[in-house]
A = this chain, B = another copy of it.
Amino acid sequence: MSKHNISLKDIARKLGVSIPTVSRALNNKPDIGKETKRKVIELAKALNYEPNQFAINFKNQQSYIIGVIIPKIVHHFFSNVISGIITEAEKSGYSVMLFQSNESYESELKSTQTFKRSMIDGLIISLSDNTHNVDHLKNLQDHKIPVVLIDKVTDMMEASKIVCNDYKGAYDATQHLISLGKRNIAHITGARKPTTTKERYRGYKDALIANGLPVKEGLIKYCDLISEDKGYYEMKNLISQDDRPDGIFCATDPTAIGAINAIKDSGLQIPKDIAVIGFSNWNMAYIIDPPLSSVKQPDYEMGEKASALIIEEIQNIRNEQPITFKTHVMETSLIIRESTVGKKDLNSRDVLNYKIIE
A351 touches B258 (CB 8 A): yes
Which listed residue, B55, B83, B117, B229, touches A95 by the CB 8 Å rule? B117
Say which residue of B73, B82, B117, B228 sits within 8 Å of A352 (CB atoms).
B228
CB within 8 A of A287: which of B65, B95, B287? B287
Q: Once bound together, how far apart are the Cα atoms of A52 and B288, in whole Å?
A: 52
Does B96 contact A98, Cβ atoms closer than 8 Å? yes
In the bound complex, residues from chain B placing their C-beta under 8 Å from that of A349 are 265
Q: Of residues 80 to 133 in A, which have CB atoms within 8 Å of B's CB atoms? A: 80, 82-83, 86, 90, 93, 95-100, 110-111, 114-119
A73 lies within 8 A of B65 (CB) = no
Interface residues of A in 189-237 (CB under 8 A from B): 228-229, 232
Please tell me if the beta carbons of B93 and A95 are within 8 angstroms of each other in the complex: no
How far does the alpha carbon of A65 sit from the alpha carbon of B95 in the complex, in Å? 11
Question: Are B97 and A65 in contact (CB-based, < 8 A)?
Answer: yes
Q: Could you say which residues of chain B place their CB within 8 Å of the CB of A83?
A: 73-74, 100
Q: How far is the CA of A349 from the CA of B261 in the complex (A)?
A: 10
A319 contacts B by Cβ under 8 Å: no
Assembled-state Cα–Cα distance A287/B287 (Å) = 7
Chain B minimum-CB-distance residue to A118: B95
* Cβ B352 vs Cβ A229 within 8 A: yes
Question: What per-residue 1/0 map shows which CB atoms of A122-160 lie under 8 Å from chain B?
Answer: 000000000000000000001100000000000000000
* Min C-beta distance of A205 to chain B, whole Å: 29
- A21 interface residue, CB < 8 Å from B? no
Residue in B1, B64, B90, B142 whose beta carbon sits within 8 Å of that of A1 in the complex? B142
Q: Mark A251-295, 1 if CB is under 8 A from B, else 0.
A: 000000110010001000000000000000001100111000000
Look across to chain B and name the residue whose beta carbon is closest to the beta carbon of A94.
B114
A18 within 8 A of B: no
Q: Report the bound CA distance from A228 to B291 in whole Å.
A: 14
Chain B residues near A57 (CB-CB < 8 A): 54, 57-58, 119
Residue on B with the closest CB to A292? B287
Cβ contacts under 8 Å, A36 to chain B: none
Residue in B50, B82, B111, B118 whose CB lies within 8 Å of A73: B82
Q: Once the chains bind, are A54 and B284 in contact (CB under 8 Å)?
A: no
Q: Does A315 contact B (CB under 8 A)?
A: no
Q: Taking each of A50, A287, A288, which has the highest tally of chain B beta carbons within 10 Å of its own beta carbon? A: A287
* Residues B351 and A118 in contact, CB atoms below 8 Å apart: no
Distance, CA A348 to CA B119, complexed state (A): 54
Q: Which B residue sits closest to A115, measured CB to CB?
A: B95
Interface residues of A (CB under 8 A from B): 1, 5, 50, 52-55, 57-58, 61, 63-65, 73-76, 79-80, 82-83, 86, 90, 93, 95-100, 110-111, 114-119, 142-143, 228-229, 232, 257-258, 261, 265, 283-284, 287-289, 349, 351-352
Which 3 residue pairs of A and B lie closest in terms of their CB atoms, listed nearest first? A58-B58, A284-B284, A54-B58
Extra contacts besides A93-B117, A96-B98, A288-B288 (9): CB < 8 Å: A1-B142, A54-B61, A63-B118, A73-B83, A90-B99, A232-B351, A261-B351, A265-B349, A287-B288
Pairs across A and B, CB under 8 Å, 29 listed: A5-B143, A50-B116, A53-B118, A53-B119, A54-B54, A54-B57, A54-B58, A54-B61, A54-B63, A57-B119, A58-B58, A65-B97, A73-B82, A73-B86, A79-B79, A82-B98, A83-B100, A90-B99, A90-B114, A95-B99, A95-B115, A96-B97, A96-B99, A228-B351, A229-B351, A258-B351, A284-B284, A287-B287, A288-B289
